[in-house]
Structure 1
């Protein structure tokens, strides 16, 4: 009887360990060693803190537009780089020389290599043009059904996906290894502004598009260095968040985007009201995301956020950190520091820069024990 009980105990211990191991594996069973290591280490690192990310950080800043890959608005403030760097592949579908924000793809390739060599993390989104009209990603003319198998633009879209794959295949570190990428396609899916969004595609069409893309990149062209992200915009309920989820076999990480907005030239009352609204939305969103991630054994992330021009000088600690500190999320990323937009006649930036009124508060954000930057994550050897 004792032997039988011992065998039963051992059996359940093995099953438990196997289940745990499966939770630490990416959906791609052929994922490279570096990709599997990153996926596992992202989960472990979330227990220590949240990585800070910034879109296009090495490429340009508020008051500068050319880069040797060393300058960074974030570095100028805290003498450290972000842990996560965001890039976008918009226009790669045409094999263009530059992406939709004017960064040469050769430069993006070099920046991604630099981040990997430093020990940081790269994430890629794709603001892909509308395949029917050839308008921008924001042309929300219905197009998803046209790019699915049997659709009139199916062959065209396959070529576009192949161009994405061909670029990703060129991403290699100084060690010669394929660089793991957190890939976030068809983002903000529950918004109505993109051609893959809720106003332009049924949930069935969206899910089929996501599945087809994963299968094509993973199985058809054999990319094994991608960690796939599901990404919504802001939401109110768990049902809304899960409505277009393509399934656990197609997703490695779950995330959402949510920005703070206020009136032009806001008063202190306006800032206070918009901050409270933002904090309430984020806390609700992260609570739902946390439960969803645990139920599906996925890694949660706050993929895009920010407050344009950071008009609240204490925003980093009183709005952002004060909420995210209560959740175990992989990373939080603020959008790009474009600077002056001539056409719109306004400044467009979401990160800090030297001399900005919020910079002292960003230093406090940086010094918080549960925020992680490049120096923190480089010590963790995420790819080993």
Structure 2
């Protein structure tokens, strides 16, 4: 009896010690981050040992064949639970628009972010920012666009004014407890691609690092202390490529990448193989720097494969301990492309069973799994 008690106590203390070690020496980008933001970051470190959170872009705003229905989500329609992570976008704030790039009213977005925080979910935000040099959209890759926002650049003051608009947005995010709501912020996403004006084909590593650091320091100087900074690339194949534009461990809290399935996964295994390789690269860096890794955007448009979630996606993550995976939005009918555009099954979708099976896996965490964890406490 005494031996059993001693063994139990030793296991208990070992578990406590392991948990303490996992969040020991955590250094956030913002040393003045709010208590709730620090708690979230520490809890994300611990939670990854249990599994990974599942997210969905614009999850509460709209879905296939519906929009702005209180309490609704395609994920919830299919599984009975909300996602654990909710993606949003700031595109439009640069012009003080009342709606984001996807037509979501910012007033509603703030309301949903508050609801998410109140129930213990996590919000992540990207920014499809217009090209400051030309005034065109984020996909305009006119040369020297990125250089224009460097300090002393032609559009630096304009860029600062756009940042000021986002500062107001971030500072306005308050929970029912009156506290600032922590946000996983993913600026300049997919930076190693070639489709946005901020991508590597339009900026040198030195330019990118300078702007990233300026941006982070600017937010902190304006009193924004509820951001967890997410460094995000598209698909790369080497450590050198992943770190070429990396601003340094003092300027990133989470390491991530985006990648989508475009081919039949029963015939083409490159999605799985490439993801595993990049997760391995990020995992090594994260362990060296005590960071978290994540799959910040993914999906298979219209999900034509009946085992995408339980086989393709799960195999592409493997045994790596990632923080979250976020599927892209369920826009529905895309008029300009004359096709359906969605990445998560909706009620009645032929492959919704696989998503339910994915939901029931031990390592996939949805809102019902993370609410009891109390991520902000």
TM-score (norm 2): 0.93
Q: Tell me the equivalent position of 1:116.
A: 117
The answer (yes or no) to whether the contact 1:25–1:39 under 8 Å persists in 2 is: no
The answer (yes or no) to whether the contact 2:64–2:331 under 8 Å persists in 1 is: yes
**Equivalent pairs, count:** 359
Q: Tell me the equivalent position of 1:342.
A: 335
Return the match for 1:273 from 250, 256, 267. 267
Structure 1 runs not aligned, ≥5 long? 1-16, 263-269
Q: Tell me the equivalent position of 1:9.
A: none
The answer (yes or no) to whether the contact 1:180–1:226 under 8 Å persists in 2 is: yes
Structure 2 runs not aligned, ≥5 long? 1-18
SS at match of 1:379: helix
Q: Tell me the equivalent position of 1:127.
A: 128
Q: Tell me the equivalent position of 1:242.
A: 243
Deviation at 1:271, TM superposition (A): 4.3
The answer (yes or no) to whether the contact 2:22–2:45 under 8 Å persists in 1 is: no
Q: Tell me the equivalent position of 2:6.
A: none
The answer (yes or no) to whether the contact 1:90–1:126 under 8 Å persists in 2 is: yes
Return the match for 2:348 from 342, 355, 368. 355
Q: Tell me the equivalent position of 2:9.
A: none
SS at match of 1:360: helix
CA distance in 2, matches of 1:89, 1:97: 11
Q: Tell me the equivalent position of 2:228.
A: 227
Return the match for 1:289 from 282, 304, 315. 282
The answer (yes or no) to whether the contact 1:52–1:84 under 8 Å persists in 2 is: yes
2:72 is equivalent to residue 71 of structure 1: yes
The answer (yes or no) to whether the contact 1:25–1:36 under 8 Å persists in 2 is: no
SS at match of 2:341: strand
Q: Deviations over 1:184-224 (max 9, x none)?
A: 00010100111110111111111111111000001x20101
Q: Deviations over 1:246-277 (max 9, x none)?
A: 01111111000010003xxxxxxx44223x11
CA distance in 2, matches of 1:66, 1:149: 41
CA distance in 2, matches of 1:80, 1:136: 35
Deviates more, 1:286-295 or 1:184-193: 286-295
Q: Deviations over 1:340-366 (max 9, x none)?
A: 101110111111111111210001100
The answer (yes or no) to whether the contact 1:325–1:370 under 8 Å persists in 2 is: no
Q: Tell me the equivalent position of 1:306.
A: 299
Distance 1:18 1:363, change over 3 A: closer
SS at match of 2:325: strand
The answer (yes or no) to whether the contact 1:86–1:124 under 8 Å persists in 2 is: yes
SS at match of 2:267: helix
Q: Tell me the equivalent position of 1:251.
A: 252
Q: Tell me the equivalent position of 2:187.
A: 185
The answer (yes or no) to whether the contact 2:23–2:45 under 8 Å persists in 1 is: no
Q: Tell me the equivalent position of 1:147.
A: 149
CA distance in 2, matches of 1:190, 1:323: 20
Q: Tell me the equivalent position of 2:201.
A: 199
Q: Deviations over 1:61-85 (max 9, x none)?
A: 01112322x0000000000000000
Return the match for 1:211 from 210, 213, 216. 213
Deviates more, 1:18-27 or 1:195-204: 18-27
Distance 1:48 1:150, change over 3 A: same
Structure 2 counterparts to residues 14-25 of structure 1, below 5 A: 23-25=25-27
Q: Tell me the equivalent position of 2:51.
A: 49
Deviation at 1:25, TM superposition (A): 3.6
CA distance in 2, matches of 1:46, 1:186: 25
Q: Deviations over 1:146-186 (max 9, x none)?
A: 11110111111100000001011110001100000000000
Return the match for 1:367 from 333, 350, 360. 360
Q: Deviations over 1:81-133 (max 9, x none)?
A: 00000000001011100000000000110110111011000000001000000
CA distance in 1, matches of 2:21, 2:327: 34
SS at match of 1:286: helix
